[in-house]
Structure formats: structure tokens, C-alpha cells
Chains A and B, each alone.
Chain A
Amino acid sequence: MMAPVAEFRSACSTEEAVTWLAELGADGCVLAGGTDVMMQYARHELGPAAFVHIEGIEELAGVGRDGVVRIGALVTHRRLAEDAALRTSNPALADAAATVGGWQTQSVGTLGGNLCNGSPAADSAPPLLVADATVELQSRAGIRRVPLEEFFLGRRRVDRRPEELLTAVEVEPLGSRQAEVYLKVGRRGAMVVAVVGLAARLSFDARGAIAAARVALCSAAPTPLRVRSVEQALVGLDAALPGWQDATSPSLRDGIDALMHAVSPIGDLRSSEAYRRAVLPGLLARAIEICRARAGVGVPEG
């Protein structure tokens, strides 16, 4: 039986939070909306000496734009889902945020928390990965910037040191002739942890063929992951050609082969490994179709 947490400290600034985290080291636990931490605490999965509560740090709750979109760690899923500007610049992230738990979870659950929790099923991860996200970590020693792809080290393990606070995530907004989507498979339409999730951001050339692709997954490996081999295989795919979804279509078949090689799904109480593998090809094809429609590609002119 772990000793109950002895202290609750509410930080008013990033500086105060990182000072406390340095002092506490591994005995400290960052707490924002609590939707993961409080549940894990109740299940005795973590036993910190002190909670460092950061929800009141206003400077971490903003969204800034300067070429890249800078999203503060405390921006909630609700805001990601509802904010009109974010929905325009990063629609897949908005789609993903809208699927995280119910309204109650989205009210207080934060983007920073979703990433630091290190779940293989983190819904926000695939859309961020296809937006080439970088996370910013602050400590008393300064600021460290880590590409999100390298931030995920393993199941429930991320590249954040105990004295570091994740302060912001920087993402690329959608460019012209680009579209993106997040597709999530679950047993219900809501309140589920992803059986698998797939985000795609596709760039189309003037003819409507795929000029560049980014594809990322969750619940398909020990960490969320970007699948560059799939991205390469999709370049040149012209979904205007009849039968592109067939196994005889070279680009899609290569993409699906690459996808099946890249993933290492597990069987657990939410789904079997076989099912996870079985749904992925269709998910990839659907993502391409939706991106084409969203980008206005293939829509007859006039």
C-alpha cells in the first residue's frame, strides 16, 4: 500500500512549477485536469509525494500563431474541438479532441496531459504527428524542444524528465491543396479508447494525385507512430483512376503492405490483434477518400 500523497501545490507560473519540480524530482507529479492522473492514483498506479497542480498557469492556456500554430499545454480537448481557428488550421486535431471521452473529460483534460500520459492510444498524437509537431519542455536549466515523434519512447514512457514541464506543442497548419483527417475505430461512436486510430495529411498536385503524404497511427504499436514507409508508397497515387482501391492498384497495395509491416498491434480487452490488422487497410483507403473530398480534389469543375 502506497502512502497517500502528502502535498498539493498549485503553481501560479511556469517558473514556480519548474522550481517545485526540480526540488521534488521523482517525488513530484504534474497534475492538470486530473482525468488520467487522478484515476491512476486511485488505482495505485502512481504514488507521488506531491502533486504539482498547473491548471492555474494562464501562460500555458493560450494558442499563438506565427507561421506555426503554438498550442499551450493546458489547452483543453473541448477548446481544441470547438475553437473555429484551430478547426480550420488543424481539423484532424479538432476531430480527435472531440472523441476523447465525454464532455466532462474534454472540459478539463489537456493536450499536454494527453501526450505526457504516454498512452499508445492517445487520440491527439496521430493528428499532431501528421502536423510535424514539436513539444517544448521547460525546466530550470532552460527550454528543450523535442520532435513529437521522438518524444514517445515506449508504452507509457515519454522523453520528459521529472524536472521538466511540457509547456507547449507547435504544429504546422494545413497548407494550400492539403487536407487531413483523423479516423478512429471503436466499439461505440463515443467514450471509447481507440481500437486503432489513423490520421492522414495529404497534399495533392494540380491533377489531383497525391504529391506528399503524412500518415500516423495510434493503438497500433507500443507508441503512437508516424509511418514514413506508407507515406512514401502513397506519393503519386491518383485516386481519380478507377479501381484505385483494388489490390491491383500498385500505389495502394504498396501503401497497405508498408502499413502492415510498420504496425505491431496487440490483442487486449478492446480488440484482437487480427481485428486491428484487418481494419487498417480500409481505414487508409477511407482516409484518402475523405482527404480528396475535403481538398476539393476530383470534384468536377463548372
Chain B
Amino acid sequence: MEIEVTVNGVVRGVEVRPHETLLALLRDRLGLRGAKNGCSEGECGACTVLLDGAPIDACIYPAAACAGRSVTTVEGLAPPDGELTALQRAFVDSGAVQCGFCTPGLLMTLHALLAERAAPSEAEVRRAIVGNICRCTGYAHVVDAVAQAVGARR
């Protein structure tokens, strides 16, 4: 079936299969490989993207259900001139990236959090990312990065 979906601000017409996941559509056919396939079961959050602004696991969300909706991936965070967002810059500066596999998913969830709350508490940050697993266990630097990004935006 043919659907129209807005991906990172650009309306795309794509042919999707009834069982296709959003993650398969993004990675295999639109060439957006930022969202990662970790567990394929909605447990690890490596595939997190925003659907109409809300974080979802793209690995278990049907592509066909995205018709008429807006999807944002990590590729869509920084503007076309390539300047990183405050959160991305803070991830780099705080050493919040270790192996990097969970990073795109964490960035998406945390961007959603910062869109809702200008200055979340540490507890709110930790609660927001319970669905994003970092196998390097580098959560402390991630939490630091959010605090730094919040500070930088002030």
C-alpha cells in the first residue's frame, strides 16, 4: 500500500507492506540508519524515533500506521547546516557516547523530554530513559549531558 509520511520534515510517498515495521522502512528503504535494531522486541530502545513528537520503538511499530503522520529520526535533529543541537553537543562534550549503539535512541527520548520540560530533574531524566538500555552502562554521563544541555540553553 502507498502511504505518505513526513520524515524529518520532508513528505515522502512510500510503498509499504502490511507487516513492515517503521524501523525496516527507515533503515532498509529510506537509508536512515541512525535508529538501530537492538532487540527487535521493544525492550532496548535503540530504535527510538519520535512519532508526532512522542518517543516510540520503531522496531515494533507498523510502518503503515505512520500514514499522514510525522516521524523524526536522529538524522533530523541537527539542522541542514550540520550544527549539533545543544543536547548532541553536550553528549559529545560529556563523554556520553561510549560504543554509541544506544546513542541515537537516547537522544530521541531525551529530545522528547526536553520538549516537554525545559529543566527536568535528575529523577525525571532517569525515569524518561528507562526504556533505553546502554550496554556500556554509561548512564551517569548521559544524565550529566542533559544537565549540561539544560544549562547551555539558559
Contact = CB atoms under 8 A, between A and B. Distances in A.
Contact of A107 (B43, B56, B132): B56
Interface stretch (A38-46, A144-152, A243-251): A38-46
B57 A8 contact: no
A53 B131 contact: no
A41 to B, nearest CB: 6
A10 B64 contact: yes
A1 to B, nearest CB: 13
A6 to B, nearest CB: 6
B135 interface: no
B65 A55 contact: yes
A34 interface: yes
Interface stretch (A98-106, A120-128, A153-161): A98-106
B19 interface: yes
Interface residues of B, number: 31
Interface in A23-80: 31, 33-35, 38-39, 41-42, 50-51, 53, 55, 78
A34 B131 contact: no
Interface string A177-204: 0000000000001110000000000000
B131 A191 contact: yes
Interface residues of A, number: 29
A87 B74 CA distance: 33
B42 to A, nearest CB: 6
Contacts of B54: 78, 107-108
Nearest to B48: A104
Interface in B33-87: 40-43, 45, 48, 51, 54-57, 60-62, 64-65, 67
Contacts of B129: 102-103
B60 to A, nearest CB: 4
A8 B18 contact: yes
B131 A103 contact: yes
Contacts of B42: 35, 38-39, 101, 104-105
A7 interface: yes
Given A5-B19, A51-B18, A191-B43, A34 B130 contact: no
B18 A38 contact: no
A35 B60 CA distance: 6
Contact of A102 (B1, B41, B65, B132): B132
A198 B112 CA distance: 32
B67 A10 contact: yes
A267 interface: no
A4 interface: yes
B18 A5 contact: yes
Contact of B18 (A4, A35, A39, A104): A4
Nearest to A51: B18
A106 to B, nearest CB: 8
B115 to A, nearest CB: 12
Contacts of B14: none
A104 B56 contact: yes
A149 B114 CA distance: 40
B65 A103 contact: no
A103 B49 CA distance: 12
Given A38-B61, A103-B128, A190-B127, 11 more contacts: A4-B19, A8-B62, A34-B65, A35-B57, A38-B60, A39-B41, A102-B45, A103-B131, A104-B42, A105-B42, A105-B57
Interface of B: 1, 16-19, 21, 40-43, 45, 48, 51, 54-57, 60-62, 64-65, 67, 109, 112, 127-132
24 contacts: A4-B18, A5-B19, A7-B18, A8-B62, A8-B64, A10-B64, A33-B56, A38-B21, A42-B60, A50-B18, A101-B42, A101-B131, A102-B130, A102-B131, A103-B109, A103-B130, A104-B42, A104-B48, A104-B55, A104-B57, A107-B51, A108-B51, A108-B54, A191-B130
